[in-house]
Amino acid sequence: MMAAAQTEHSPPGLQDGAEASAVEVLDAECYLIRDLLGPEEQAALFQYIQERDKTPWDSLPRAMVPSPKTLLLGENEPSLKFEFGEQSIIGSMVEAASDVLYRRGLRDESSETVDLRKYQSLTLAVIRYEAPDGRFAPHVDHCNDSYVYLASLGCTANFMVKGPGMAEKRAFKFRSGDLLVFNASTRAALLHGVMSIDVASCPPGLSEAAPDLREHRYGVQCRMHV
């Protein structure tokens, strides 16, 4: 059984615009990195997504309780793919998160552990949640040989995780600029989901640069294939 969540602090300046961040170990191979992305990095990531978003928002029917919507980032495709070594804002974010974990000694250097710094490829998918009723039912990914790097942009999500080593589920505020890393395999069996979105919780500077985030949370999922 896992002990209470451990917290490790990183030195100031690790990420531009971010204050000293913290890493919480929620379960084996499940890490919450606070404030990985500073305000400028969040704005740049959102702009990158907007420039590639081909979702026909104007023609979509408006539901009384809008459900989360997966963006179309390519021609009728919900995801984009990046090969290892390909330069992109997505690769840089993933590599920065991995670097935090290894600098803190939270990833084993032994050959028996997957090296998150040497992956095969990444796929990017983005889900848009409307406040306050945006939610995603708890689920396990069952995607073997992969890790998920999940960043949050905009309004704060009320998120939950429950792993095999946890005595009970952990609910937490998943704020803009935070990033969750976890093993997405069936073996890891990490249950996770979005319970709701806090209204008017987007950081002021970001909401001015990206007005759509004033009432929405974007879940930016980078799946690493190892």
User: Cα-flanking dihedrals φ and ψ of residue 58, to 5°?
Assistant: -65, -25
Structure tokens at 59: 């023609």
Closest residue by Cα to residue 47 from 208, 204, 209: 209
- For residue 148, the 8-state DSSP code is E
- Per-residue pLDDT of 153-202, as tens digits, reads 999 999 999 999 999 999 999 999 999 999 999 999 999 999 999 999 99
Mean pLDDT of successive 10-residue stretches along the chain, which has 226 residues: 42 40 93 96 97 92 82 89 96 96 82 85 98 97 97 98 96 98 97 98 96 98 97
Structure tokens at 146: 């992969």
Distance, CA of 29 to CA of 27 (rounded, Å): 6
Whether residue 10 contacts residue 179, with contact meaning beta carbons closer than 8 Å, is answered with no
Distance, CA of 165 to CA of 150 (rounded, Å): 21
